[in-house]
Chains A and B, each alone.
Chain A
């Protein structure tokens, strides 16, 4: 991977923040956008902006071709069997809520169980809490190992014949844990439960093959993988999606509308009520092209090198605690003794270094870690070892600064 060329593809990186060259270490929150994605959006809005699937005019046809072309790019990217299984949503949150509402609320009852983990993002907890409340089903948690990993024995013990849904994140946005979702899906299926994978943190970084994982649903967001905000994907197995009611009702998703009753379009459009996220989907298609050109394996290897280097360098800092397992995706969540993570983030920002501080939308996990908040540095294809050196330098300065003022 030619890191210099990669960095040049991201115009935002070439700037000073607070008098220092920007070091962007918050890609797990949202990634930066390459110029090809920005130009694709510009091209759509400048030259063929039109609504899709309705007019017969030329621009409308072009917009429809690009929109449906993006769906085919997504299909290949995750190796779905058919484009009927690829639904465009606003993001991971809407994708999970679609399953919770259209599958969970419809299929579950009092004797049923939903199984998740304590490391989930709020977007893969709260929809299931609401399903449990609405249906009387029981919400259960697979316990975590001390290092923040999942032991398959615990999955075997938690998932029962009463379990109807197992929902687990592929990669933890806090711990960096890469969960054995394929093996968990196998256990879920043995009990005739469906398996949902929250792929928000895996789709941008790992090669994902939904048929190989054999998950029933897979949800991810465009903005974390070089695409625009406001676009995401719900993959679902065709047979399941076919039996599910739409999540939103309105224009675009209907077949026939009568005064008191209506019928739905076929997949995937029955789940895309209203004018779809046309620009967003086309932008996501361009992001997939960009990632494919570099290669997900190259990206994963680059991030692996970076995260190992970061762990090694950060361990040089006295009083710094790193959370999560040794083998991990490209992020490091940490705390400095006696300095609150917000204060860490403010001092680093003064040095031009952007990190996340807070609970990372994972309050139950924060309680499991017994901390109120943490700081997180997350890496992507455009980060370098120099970025990590700057981070370590910034953290040393933070320590000195707070050591001095105390």
Chain B
């Protein structure tokens, strides 16, 4: 592997999200849920906040610390699910998980936008957990709300 291969991992748009994260911070007020999730093998941490109303993700913000892949993925995830219906957010999460496993995905289903830049992560098995951390946090939050 050369640095050219590294470029498939560290795409410009990923670095942009890492350096200038979107939706980083906290949601004001108390009508939102908070999900803490970490990757115990490496110490990456995310605190995700979701505001869900009438089955719609009205707002999503995150904070935390981690590598370029985990933090850029969190930034992209919040961008992607904001304004989406919960079932669509979960369907995107499934699509993302398939993408990480190197499966063929139907790009017509959703406009993945910046997220497609993370496709290269599937070639770096040790880093897949970094990319999926924020999505897992989102799924957990939605799941817990569904149960309450």
Contact = CB atoms under 8 A, between A and B. Distances in A.
B67 interface: yes
B67 A343 contact: yes
Interface residues of A, number: 22
A340 interface: yes
Identify the interface centre among B1, B67, B69, B130: most chain A CB within 10 Å of its CB. B67
B42 to A, nearest CB: 4
B12 A357 contact: no
Contact of B1 (A19, A359, A373, A401): A19
Contacts of A18: 1-2, 5
Contact of A373 (B10, B42, B127): B42
B124 interface: yes
A401 B15 contact: no
Contact of A363 (B3, B43, B126): B43
Interface string A313-357: 000000000000000000000000000111100110110000001
**Interface extent on B, as a size class?**
20 to 34
Contacts of A397: 3
Contacts of B12: 405
A373 B43 contact: yes
A341 B69 CA distance: 12
A196 B8 CA distance: 49
A358 B41 contact: yes
Given A359-B42, A359-B43, A401 B6 contact: yes
A350 B5 contact: yes
B45 A372 contact: yes
A260 interface: no
A340 B5 CA distance: 19
B7 to A, nearest CB: 8
Contact of A350 (B3, B19, B44, B67): B3
Contacts of B43: 358-359, 363, 366, 372-373
Given A18-B1, A340-B66, A373-B42, A346 B9 contact: yes
Nearest to B19: A406
Given A19-B2, A401-B6, A405-B10, A346 B42 contact: no
Interface of A: 18-19, 340-343, 346-347, 349-350, 357-359, 363, 366, 372-373, 397, 401-402, 405-406
Given A343-B68, A358-B42, A358-B43, 10 more contacts: A19-B2, A341-B67, A346-B126, A357-B42, A359-B43, A366-B43, A372-B66, A397-B3, A402-B10, A405-B12
